[in-house]
Structure 1
Amino acid sequence: MLTSLAYLLEPKRLGRVVLYRLTEDFAEAWNQLPRYRDNDTSRPVRPAYAGLATALSAVTSQPVVIMPDTITPPEDDEVVPAVLATTKPIAPRLLTRAVRSWERLIRGGADDDTLAPLLAQSEMVKPKLLDFIENADSGRPRAPQWFYRVAAWNFAAALCETPLHLPAGTADAGKRLEWLMDTRGSLLAWDHVLKGKTERPARTGYGMHKLDFRVITLPGEPRIGIHVLPTFSRLATHWAGTRTAFVERGKENIVLRLPVGHRRSGESWEPYARNFTAQVVAACNLEAIELGTNETLEKMSGAARALVPGPTEHPLGKGTGTRFNLYLANYVKEAAKELKIEQVTYERTDVEVIRHVTGPVVREDLDHALSGAEQDHVRILALYDDEYTRERMITALTPYLEEPEETAGWEDNHDYQLTKRLCVRLHRMPALVSQTPVDWDRELAFLTPLVSTALTGVWVETIWNPKRRASRKGQQADVYDPKRDLRRHFHRRGMVSQFIAQRPRPKPPKPEDEEAPTPELAADADQPLGVDGAPEPAEGETPKKPKQSRPRLDYPAINGLRDLMFRMGAVDGRLAEGVSLDRPTILVGVHLRQQRISAKIGSADKTQMVEVLTALHTDPDPSQPWRLEMYSRRHHAWLPLPQGEAAFGAGSIGVDQHARHKEGAALVREHIKAALRILPGQTSLVIFVDTEACRTIWPGLQHARFGEATLPSEGLDDNGRSVAVVSINTSYGEVPTPVDRADARGRRDPARPQAPDDWLHERTTSTGLTSWYFAQKSRSYDGFGQTGINGSTCTRFTIPENLKEKLLRKDWHSFTATQITVPQPGEYQAKDLAALAAALCHQSLAWDARTRHPVPLHVAGAVDRNHPEYRGPSFEAEAEQPGDDVS
């Protein structure tokens, strides 16, 4: 049995809410507010309900949310009634003054006062949250969007008064974490800040534990779920780049959570609370909000703390660790026992998931694996500048040679045959290490004659560090990343690519490290030497095996080559061995993601929908290779994966007018239906979709309308074809976090969680709906010794003193899981489809650990991430940027 960090409550135990019902007149008045800027350097924006809610939270020192009073999110152009929800009634005079002051600031000083009178006329009620839930008995509960926020506040408040005990070996030792609640309903270990240091460079960092709560629904479950999300929040020691601040309000015993901006102050910058929050507090004659200075942040001496703005190097690692999660799970059960909560658990099925093959594709299987690319000749083009990178590339390619000694005579700019189908060519290109943009059309002109001779995958050296470094002594900051430019040029030539980071040549081992112990050393130790030169064991002692020296493998080069092979369409027999299919089947992955169209200067409100469709063609006949295809919108055809990725990467990443809602969602559905209809008409389809990304496009994926509303299979079974839909959810906020295998045996330390195993688990609700759960530990947790599993042997507060400095700066991993549901099984049993999804996560193509998504869906996501415009400015937007001399 797998336990999790999610709990179920009967709806009647969710508590009450204070509601101010706002009319359509209020919504109409809101729409008449002008664009505003709360800082001279910011761009004008439309007022959002969250802006006023933040100001009211600061005035009242309690959670406040203003949201439309609808069950489904309204369209942007609709005017619908809203509600103001909070935990306690707000004094009418204070509410009126705060809203009027905020509106006056929005209007630049004009006292039109349109919102406060309408809010003062609103009805204030204190109903039970139970009254707002629909269809709970059927296992499809629905509620307004604000309901989920308020239910999380109430649950957090129920835990807040009880400290969390973290034992340190004895029943009464260890640490007790006391919580403060912030105005978003999170619990903060405010008085228990941890400190970390590094010497090179000399830095000091701080962090504190934080609990977030998310109200969720589970498939087919009548009760409401609460998912507890523990984080180790790292705190900034300066204000630069920060976006979120916490400010302690001692009198109210609550912490304000405020969005932070930055404005000019003389020759420097200073932080400020956005949305005029500090000005509204001052207008209400309340204690001023003081964010403090860089010095107070650095010393943690003020009332304010700020979150580190994003991924960056820090003296403290991320994560709480699995042991903390187990203590937390037991704490929640005890602290909230009056609510009669039930922990969400999953039972083991009889399905064991086995990985039959690991490692790269072997030489004997390579030609057969590449046949799915539908090209007789395939080439790896290795572009390098550093001689050591050339050696690393050749070393990684050596296993594919019949005679490894042949590499000694390899010269640049010649094709050398690895197998009957695959060859390799080396080419030196100094421009790869340029610190400034390059004329790639000129540098890559030599590729033109290669395009027509073979399908080419390019393996490219890079010096760019994805973690941008600040300049330090002897080290130049990274200023130019050529990957985006190079990928676009390769894609336009019909090529796929993979990059290998340059690394320095390792120093040779010292002679003394290679020498065997001398007789003199053995004599000093009073221990004779054996025949092999190693000390002989003492009498009665078991002889120790001589330490074997293993060759040091270049995993970045090996894995990079494996990834390039998969991008060129190499599919060997490993999937066929790990998956049981008794008939030809097409496994489809539908990957959707909405991306903002941005430029280098500022950002745009416009978004595009990124749509990537892949198809894995399977056959039970071992002589028939499995092959990967990708749909090309430009060609309205399914192409072999490398050609499909090149066609996708050569154009814009997204599709205009396609969106998650309304007409945009209908366009997405029609586009994907048209793509799927041209797959072979009689072959069975199994469609894997990402739940979080796709459920607004196809409502039948939502728990409230599961299997009954529109699904991706609509219109595909007209000719009798079997179509199944499998929904894959990996959202950290929605899929309960695994904690422990409660039925594990033989554990020496009862407080050390047992890692997930290779069995599929399931949960069947009272309404008869089954969902499946495939839990996993990270590769780092399992593969890097003590530093990988430190979070299972202690908590950050109970680290032994001799290990504290080392372990605090490491990342502490937790377990993760994939939730599988089957809204449409087609001709299969739902359990068999869940086992198929788990097997396609466990046996990946180019990775020896599990992936979060089954192979077709994982490949589609990988293609998206490899697009030159992935989460970045579009090439078209960059080309349209005005020059410096244009006003």
Structure 2
Amino acid sequence: MPAPITRACLDVLAYRCTPTLLDGATVHLRQFPTSVTSLWTLLDRQYKDIVKREEAQAPHSVLTGALRCLTGGYVFFDPKQGLLATRRPLDDDTLRDAFTLLHGLILGHHPDDIDLNRPTPLAERVAETTQQERLLADYLITPDGSHTPLSPTPGRQPDAANWVYNTAAWDLAHRLAQHTWRVDDQDIILRPDSSGGLIAWQQPWSNKAGTAHALARVRLALKTLPNVADPILVVSSQATRISRTMAYARTVLAEQAETDLPIVEVEMAGRGRVRRIHRMSLQTLARLGMDHSVLHNIQQRVEAEHSADTREEDQPETEAETAGLGPIRPIQGKTFSFPVGRGVGMHHLRELDRHIGQVLAPTGLNIVQDSRARGFKQLPQAELSVQPGDIIRSLDAMHYQHLRLVCLWYRDEMRQRMIHGLASIFDLDPQTLDPAEGIPVPLDGGRISAVFHCVPEFLVHGPAAGQEAAVAHIPSLKKEPSTLVGVWAETEFDAAAEEADAMSPADGAGTAAGPGPDEDAKHQARRTLARLGFVSQFTAERKEAKRKKLNGKQTDHQVVLSLLDLCRSLGIIDRRIDQVMVDAIGPHAADQVAHCGIHVRRQSRQGKDRTAKICVTASVLKPPAHPGGAWTLHGWSYTHRRWEPYHQAQAAFHADAYPTGKMTDFDDDNRGLKTVARHIDQALADLYDYLDGAPYTVTVDGVATRRLWLGLHNRRQGQQPTRNSTWLPASTLQARERPLAVVRINKDMDEVPRPVRVSHRSVDGTVARTNKVTNLLYQVTPDFGSPTWLLATVPPQFDGAGAGRLGEAITRWTASHGSSDPDNRRKNEVRPNWYSMTATEIYPIITASPAGTGENLDTAPIEPQSLALTAARLCHQPLAWANRTRYPVPLHAAQQMDLDHPQYRRSALADDQNAEAIGDTSPAEDGTPAGDQS
């Protein structure tokens, strides 16, 4: 008998939020009149004047923290939208007193001088606002502004108010907490937390000695997906590490006196080692008669530890007191070493999906495999290297006759590694390759050469590092019209800094003792070389592999990967890109459409610098000029606003400092947003001319740019933009200058559904078989309009050689602590990171068709599927990396210009304690595989 026909469906930790799922969940809501929002705006203005900082905001989080202590934990307050939502009813008098106190404290009054019998107008009007118990299911707002039940409406995208999305998880978390989670033959008790999630508070994951702990957390968030009529409940789970002390803790988890109340998550105020509860929160609670709240308990522990730190004789006693898991648990700050690893593993997520199904019985999404996305193949990591033929092909496409690699070193060990790396790539005998200082050595038929220079004063950290005078004598660092130059340099490795960064909580987390920004040779040298017009790549000392190959030979991966990254910086495109550019875009063949990526990032302020740093970079993958030719890469930056070959654009960008000023104001300045969007539109107009009118697409990160372009928002799909508005990239341009489409990428793990398995379903819906992992492309079936695609990815750390696939069959509750007993050796499964599948959301938006295409578009319209396939293939086959990246090549290259900037701070990356890296960026500058970066 023939096998039954089945469809491969992706199962994810995401569910439709229907009226049945909400099951009568309510919140107590106060929606304030405009007079309240006006009075708050006035108070906010007064606060800015008092602190003399325009970007400052009146600290409404103080009120939120105080009200959480007064109402049991669940509070959502948004002064700009003018609403307050709580799970429990809030007394009018208490609310009046709280706002009166906050108003006086913000204006600098002493708490004892604030007369609660004389409430402020703001407090009076807040308390006078009627508190109403509302069914959440009644508060989905349709685009026409009417209130309707949460039910699919044909052609309508969910458009609920923000407070609905912030409060819907409260009741769902409590319902899940009422049921024990049976997993790995254990009964796991999940307790709700104040953010609407769950915590396995009483069953931590600990190291063998019981001195380090992590907690399993489950996060519930209500989101939307394009053209899906119901909001989506997105579920994720992480391992949250607990610190032994309060030092440097930004966030603290605290248990309330009543065990049926949620665990409170508290943000600490201040910077540096000692961070405290906000003074205004404590003063507010004290005046309201709460001297022993959760916040007071946290502050008492901060003060006790701080006092003990100042008395050396008390330090051992303090460490012993804070080593256990008490009612106050600070979340561990950023470290690179911890006795309990990150991540929960695949089995944990599948069992969580089963538990949610049993308790809530939610309706899942229909996500089916894309039939045209089969056969994604990648080059094995061991075979990934620079190919001389691809270099020459790209040189021809860029109209260069020669490539010169300038190798800068100061230790002979590094010189030998560089020689062996070049010899392996160009099939030379390293024993006969002994370049003399400053004498070019031909590597491949006269088109490629290398020249070595020993410049320790240029490469060693210190005040004189990276100065132009140290390389001014090098003739190889002179521009020649027909020669492409790339600099490959050694960077000094600071073992002390790494050791400080890698401190475990048991030793006390410390700050890296490495060189300061003005003494870091790599960043100073990169800036100097960029000013000379050259791109550069740096390689640190070799890291020995943990496992030796049987033949004793070890590939120097740092050298291989840094050379690949140098080629990426030079704009060299290998044949792998040709192989994935196979999907026609409407009437245009795959090799006739350019693909542009726009990267936007706002770097947070640091120290006394109160101005925000803005970064906008872009790159474009340009089709071959003739059949069989190479694709070329070009770039643009906010500081150097013209399109150039990628290596020139990157050098020009790295030569200058980030511009000061704000991309957006904290007050949601719409004018500032539009200004940046119009700058980008001008760049796209210039790109149209740069491409000689060739068609192109634009790819952006939807999360990073959602405030720039309203047309990217899910709830805006199907709406028509106003004329000349910054609706989408290039919306303000003439029709002929606009892209064929905008491809929105979302890789945010808090928003994108997490895959757990693939189910092969029969026509009747029964599951014939399952696959535990997948790397394919799947389509989310829409209720109307065009679909969204999810590119499922298995991290290389989970699937790679020797990875062990930790977490595939067990959870961390049954993980082994390992044993060195010769008769019973076991691997320590607690310490390593555990990985699970992720997904990248790809949503193509077809824009206005460019002029001149005529009837061709009628016979061959642009299909979103072809754009999704192209984006997926450009994620699957990146530049300079064997594993998949979360961004397609054009957006990845634009982002990399920023990541490689000398002024870029590594702290600008999200410090997510629970993040699971899966090759989100290309290899690190020292050759470390991208999967090792957070």
Name the TM-score, length of structure 2 as normaliser: 0.79
Q: Distance in 2 between matches of 1:503 and 1:680?
A: 42
2:136 to 124, 129, 149: 129
2:892 to 834, 846, 858: 858
1:337-356 aligned at under 5 Å gives the runs 337=361, 340-343=362-365, 345-355=367-377
1:67 partnered with 2:78: yes
Residue aligned with 1:351, SS: coil
Q: Deviations over 1:250-289 (max 9, x none)?
A: 325322221223699xxxx755322533333333333343
Q: Deviations over 1:807-863 (max 9, x none)?
A: 111111111111111111655221111111111111112111111111111111111
Q: What residue identity is the alignment partner of 1:46?
A: Q
What residue number does 2:695 align with? 684
1:298-697 aligned at under 5 Å gives the runs 298-337=322-361, 340-343=362-365, 345-355=367-377, 357=379, 359-401=384-426, 403-405=428-430, 407-419=432-444, 420-431=446-457, 434-439=460-465, 440-447=467-474, 450-453=477-480, 454-464=483-493, 468-470=498-500, 477-480=513-516, 481-503=520-542, 549=551, 551-580=553-582, 581=584, 582=589, 583-596=591-604, 598-599=605-606, 601-604=607-610, 606-619=611-624, 621-632=626-637, 636-654=641-659, 656=661, 658-659=663-664, 662-677=670-685, 678-697=689-708
How much does 1:98 deviate?
3.6
Q: Deviations over 1:46-98 (max 9, x none)?
A: 32322211111022222111114xxxxxxxxxxx5511111010233433344
1:284 partnered with 2:288: yes
Q: What residue identity is the alignment partner of 2:337?
A: E
What residue number does 1:739 align with? 756
- Paired residues, what number? 797
Q: Distance in 2 between matches of 1:46 and 1:507?
A: 50
Q: Deviations over 1:609-654 (max 9, x none)?
A: 3211111111395432210011255664321110010111112334
Over 3 Å counting, the alpha-carbon distance change for 1:154 and 1:344 in structure 2 is farther
1:24 partnered with 2:45: no
Q: Distance in 1 between matches of 2:546 and 2:228?
A: 60
Q: Which range moved further: 181-190 or 269-278?
A: 269-278
Over 3 Å counting, the alpha-carbon distance change for 1:11 and 1:864 in structure 2 is farther
Q: What residue identity is the alignment partner of 1:144?
A: A
Q: Which range moved further: 247-256 or 429-438?
A: 429-438
Q: Distance in 1 between matches of 2:838 and 2:321?
A: 33
Residue aligned with 1:277, SS: helix
Q: Deviations over 1:547-573 (max 9, x none)?
A: 962621111111111111111111122
Name the TM-score, length of structure 1 as normaliser: 0.83
Q: What residue identity is the alignment partner of 2:538?
A: F
How much does 1:701 deviate?
1.4
How much does 1:603 deviate?
4.4
1:867 partnered with 2:901: yes
Q: What residue identity is the alignment partner of 1:798?
A: T
Q: Deviations over 1:463-502 (max 9, x none)?
A: 34596433999x9943343332222112111111111111
Larger % of strand: which? Answer: 1
What residue number does 1:543 align with? none
2:166 to 149, 152, 156: 149
Q: What residue identity is the alignment partner of 1:615?
A: V
2:816–2:828 Cα contact (<8 Å) kept = no
Q: Deviations over 1:103-151 (max 9, x none)?
A: 4444331426424323221111112223332226233111222221111
1:845–1:855 Cα contact (<8 Å) kept = yes
Over 3 Å counting, the alpha-carbon distance change for 1:260 and 1:570 in structure 2 is same
Q: Distance in 1 between matches of 2:99 and 2:208?
A: 45
Q: Distance in 2 between matches of 1:731 and 1:263?
A: 27
What residue number does 1:176 align with? 187
Residue aligned with 1:793, SS: coil
How much does 1:245 deviate?
0.8
Residue aligned with 1:409, SS: coil
What residue number does 1:162 align with? 179
What residue number does 2:862 align with? 828
Q: Distance in 1 between matches of 2:463 and 2:448?
A: 33
What residue number does 1:76 align with? none
2:815 to 799, 802, 814: 799
1:755–1:815 Cα contact (<8 Å) kept = no
Residue aligned with 1:666, SS: helix
Q: What residue identity is the alignment partner of 1:670?
A: R
Q: What residue identity is the alignment partner of 1:425?
A: V
| Structure 1 unaligned blocks of 5 or more | 69-79, 168-173, 510-546, 875-887
Over 3 Å counting, the alpha-carbon distance change for 1:802 and 1:43 in structure 2 is farther
Residue aligned with 1:190, SS: coil
Residue aligned with 2:167, SS: helix
What residue number does 2:64 align with? 53
Over 3 Å counting, the alpha-carbon distance change for 1:476 and 1:590 in structure 2 is closer
Q: Deviations over 1:737-774 (max 9, x none)?
A: 111112399xxxx9x98454343211222224311111
1:396–1:558 Cα contact (<8 Å) kept = yes
Over 3 Å counting, the alpha-carbon distance change for 1:354 and 1:664 in structure 2 is same
Q: Distance in 2 between matches of 1:140 and 1:508?
A: 53
Residue aligned with 1:761, SS: strand
Q: Deviations over 1:179-220 (max 9, x none)?
A: 22222222111101222268xxxx932111111121100110
1:236–1:297 Cα contact (<8 Å) kept = no
Over 3 Å counting, the alpha-carbon distance change for 1:409 and 1:736 in structure 2 is same
What residue number does 1:539 align with? none
How much does 1:36 deviate?
7.3
Q: Which range moved further: 551-560 or 135-144?
A: 135-144
What residue number does 1:704 align with? 715
2:640–2:653 Cα contact (<8 Å) kept = no
Q: Distance in 1 between matches of 2:57 and 2:639?
A: 36
What residue number does 1:790 align with? 806
Q: Which range moved further: 772-781 or 284-293?
A: 284-293
Over 3 Å counting, the alpha-carbon distance change for 1:794 and 1:252 in structure 2 is closer
Residue aligned with 1:674, SS: helix
1:843 partnered with 2:906: no
Over 3 Å counting, the alpha-carbon distance change for 1:590 and 1:707 in structure 2 is farther
Q: Distance in 2 between matches of 1:330 and 1:731?
A: 24
Residue aligned with 1:317, SS: coil
1:400–1:418 Cα contact (<8 Å) kept = no
Q: Distance in 1 between matches of 2:319 and 2:645?
A: 58
1:55–1:276 Cα contact (<8 Å) kept = no
Q: Distance in 1 between matches of 2:134 and 2:544?
A: 69
1:182–1:256 Cα contact (<8 Å) kept = yes
| Structure 2 unaligned blocks of 5 or more | 1-8, 143-151, 306-317, 722-726, 820-825, 850-860, 909-934
